[in-house]
Chain A
Amino acid sequence: MIDVLYFAWVRERIGLPKERIDSSAVTVADLVTELRAREERYDLAFSDLSALRVAVDQELADFDAPLAGVREIAFFPPMTGG
């Protein structure tokens, strides 16, 4: 089981901040493919990966990052702090 978190407009588009997913995905990109196949709101949220960032266990990562042993994945738009 993996915790999947969504922030900012990704959270709004998908309609929830967090969910627990039972996934056999090997990489982040595989997980995105699984999520997009679920429902249109997921498909829309993930339609342009260049507009998204991903964190794996609270560290910024790439979409080809492996998921073995990972507990938490977060998807969000580019950050706008400061």
Chain B
Amino acid sequence: MAIRILVQEAPFDFGAEADGFAAGRTDLGAVVTFSGVVRDLSGSLDGMAIEHYPGMTEKALDAIAREAEARWSLGEVLVIHRYGEMAAGERIMMVATASAHRKDAFESAQFLMDYLKSRAPFWKKETAAGARSWVTARDEDEAALKRW
């Protein structure tokens, strides 16, 4: 199985990545993609900065992808996660999974998201109405791991 992990500051082209993902793999009939976008619920967000732990980030994402590979029948896995400064509406990250069957592709994509939210070393800091604050981890995110 092919695992591709990209941790980068630069924006990525979601459409091109989704198009190229598992291209030519006629044995993989199910492809799931998820993309996380900087949201602004209050309308006052000036921007978001994401800090990460170079070295550990790549290792943690690779370990999570390998765990998914062990649990489901997957042909391809892609994880792209950005760091640095972003504006509302910008894509932060994406995951894509490809399998012969949709159940494996859907479930493994959810697993990857649940784990990378709380187990990959990224920290978000929002600037809203001129004030900067670290985004706090939610109990639901930790609880989401228990279902796996």
Interface residues of A (CB under 8 A from B): 5, 7-9, 55, 58-60, 74, 76-82
Contact = CB atoms under 8 A, between A and B. Distances in A.
A7 B137 contact: no
Contact of B135 (A5, A60, A76, A80): A80
A80 B119 CA distance: 9
B53 A80 contact: no
B117 A80 contact: yes
A8 B123 CA distance: 6
Top-5 shortest CB links A-B: A81-B122, A78-B137, A82-B117, A8-B123, A58-B56
B74 interface: no
B122 A79 contact: yes
A50 B50 CA distance: 22
27 contacts: A8-B51, A8-B125, A9-B134, A55-B53, A55-B56, A58-B56, A59-B59, A60-B60, A74-B56, A77-B123, A78-B118, A78-B136, A79-B117, A79-B121, A79-B123, A80-B124, A80-B134, A80-B136, A81-B50, A81-B52, A81-B118, A81-B122, A82-B36, A82-B92, A82-B93, A82-B116, A82-B122
